[in-house]
Amino acid sequence: MDDVFTLPDDFLWGASTSAHQTEGGNTGSDWWAFERAGLTDFIKEPSGSACDSFRRWPEDMDLLAGLGFTDYRFSIEWARIEPSPGEFSTEAVAHYRRMVEGARKRGLRPMVTLHHFTAPLWFTERGGWAAKDSADLFGRYVEAAAPVIGEGVDHVCTINEPNMVAVMAAVLRALPDGGVTLPAAGLPLPDEAATEGLVRAHRRAVDTVKSHAPQVRTGWSVANQPCRPEPGCEKQAAAYQHPRETVFLKAARGDDWLGVQAYTRTRIGVSGPLPVPEDVERTLTGWEYDPQALGDALRHTAATVPGTPLIVTENGIATADDDRRIAYTTGALAGLAHAMADGVDVRGYFHWSALDNYEWGSYRPTFGLIAVDRKTFVRTPKPSGAWLGAIGRGRVLPAVSP
């Protein structure tokens, strides 16, 4: 293909955040409780005020629009909208509605995520996604939140990374039994009951959104971690990937779109996942530096759910070296361009993350295109933000050889 790849005029070009990771003070959520439960193997510090984006969201949007982005993916917080079972906050709904209107005013098309890892503590304490009525409860919340997405929202993501939510459910289930034993490499198996509950909840949310705003295009986003099998280990890779990813991809059949979220690879040997080799570059999360993961994830997802349009809802790197962020993203975008040139139907790209934010236990992994001072909350765009925004304005991807 040519050295460059031109994006369609309607291609989504944005950055992503989530409510709990940026807003601060999300005291009614299960994660706020987890942060204070002494789970030191997982959580090194609490979220606290996060990026103070509950108050500072206009500044966040101003910066993204000024950098050249045309789209912004953010989540609304269930625990704020339904702090107690069946009791709904009109103030919280109005707050998120103002965010939608504020994005539109700034020329940003909002993609709204209804659930991004966090749930009300009362929901989790009564069984979470494994409870038989979890889909009914989620549908009730989506019904209450419908005014947020009724106008000015073209895309809604029902649930972010349901496969990781089901993995977390398995981890939580093991806690009362005296601790959690994680595999040496790779992900533990998702909780089966939670998996079934999440699929039902997704379908209920899609129906609810469509009943209020039939023009909204709905989908969910899956955590994709391409498996790289050692020679002769292809069957092991498929067996490893099926419950952790494939089940969730296939649940998106018939949706308007499917979100792909890719950062790194999983190496698979005879006995399953292998540790990251000692001699490879790692990111601040400990993951292998792997720009090729995005292109591989897009191709795998397209083959698994043919005919479903794809949107990259997350892709990025945890690093303190912004030059490495640009290098990583250049490689990832090349993989995106080559996949699209080969016929993979990709409708948008959202970088993770707009801001350096709370990364589920620590502020150390910095994914942001915009730095945030932990004491003053002053925002400072990084060179990578200006670079990536300029690509959005020009609509041309740097298609270097993959």
Q: pTM for the complete prediction?
A: 0.96
Residues 119 and 79: beta-carbon distance below 8 Å: yes
What stretches of 213-321 show up as alpha helix (H) in DSSP? 234-241, 247-250, 292-304
CA distance 64 to 61: 5
Considering only CA atoms, give the Rg of the chain: 20
Task: Give the max Cα distance, the chain.
Answer: 57
CA distance 325 to 309: 27
CA distance 51 to 45: 14
DSSP 352: E
CA distance 301 to 246: 8
Cis peptide before 353 (omega within 30 of 0): yes
Provide the number of structural domains found in the chain: 1
Residues 381 and 396: beta-carbon distance below 8 Å: no
The Cα-based distances of 116 to 125, 159, 323 in angstroms read: 18, 6, 29
pLDDT in tens, 29-63: 999 999 998 766 778 999 999 999 999 999 999 99
The range of the structural domain enclosing residue 362 comes to: 4-398
> CATH code at 117?
3.20.20.80
pLDDT in tens, the chain (402 residues): 457 889 999 999 999 999 999 999 999 999 999 999 876 677 899 999 999 999 999 999 999 999 999 999 999 999 999 999 999 999 999 999 999 999 999 999 999 999 999 999 999 999 999 999 999 999 999 999 999 999 999 999 999 999 999 999 998 887 655 444 556 566 789 999 999 999 999 999 999 999 999 999 999 999 999 999 999 999 999 999 999 999 999 999 999 999 999 999 999 999 999 999 999 999 999 999 999 999 999 999 999 999 999 999 999 999 999 999 999 999 999 999 999 999 999 999 999 999 999 999 999 999 999 999 999 999 999 999 999 999 999 999 976 554
Closest-CA residue to 165 (of 125, 130, 135): 130
Residues 313 and 157: beta-carbon distance below 8 Å: yes
